[in-house]
Amino acid sequence: MNSPCPCGSGQPADRCCGPLLSGHKRAETAAQLMRSRYCAYVLCDAAYLRASWHPGTRPAEIEFDDRIRWLGLKILSTRAGGPDDDSGEVEFVARYRLGGRAFRLRENSRFVRDRGVWVYLDGDISQ
């Protein structure tokens, strides 16, 4: 994990999202959790995605399409979601390739603190 972090921060993965994915550190902000969840999708880490998903909205199973190649993440905006907040929103675009075609997933994600820990609640996908 000494390579650049898949989240696009420019930091080495072992100093960025790696400690979150391994459970050695918890996200301090909603945006940090968003970045680590993107990395979990890149790495097909269903356990991390489930652990970072609110229990009330978490799916029973998370399946990955091994034909998808994630290409990058861009955070467009954040609202609240800081170290002292109880909720927040992160709007992002994630680019990926499927079947030789490039796609963009744009979502406004909502995050809340559950027992003091940031978790993904839900999101609205837009075009």
Q: What is the pLDDT of residues 20-73, one digit of tens each?
A: 999 999 999 999 999 999 999 999 999 999 999 999 999 999 999 999 999 999
Which residue segment(s) compose the domain that 85 sits in?
Answer: 13-126
Instruction: Specify if 44 maps to a domain.
Output: yes
77, 98, 103 from 89: Cα distances, Å: 8, 27, 22
Q: Domain tally for the chain?
A: 1
Q: What is the amino acid identity at position 13?
A: A
CA distances for 1 relative to 13, 15, 23, 64, angstroms: 5, 9, 14, 21
> Is residue 71 domain-resident?
yes
Q: What does the pLDDT read at residue 127?
A: 66
Kindly state whether residue 112 falls inside one of the protein's structural domains.
yes
CATH number at residue 85: 3.10.450.50
Distance separating alpha carbons of residues 31 and 91, to the nearest angstrom = 9
pTM strictly above 0.85: yes
Sign of CA dihedral 45, 51, 53, 58: positive
Q: Is 3 inside any structural domain?
A: no
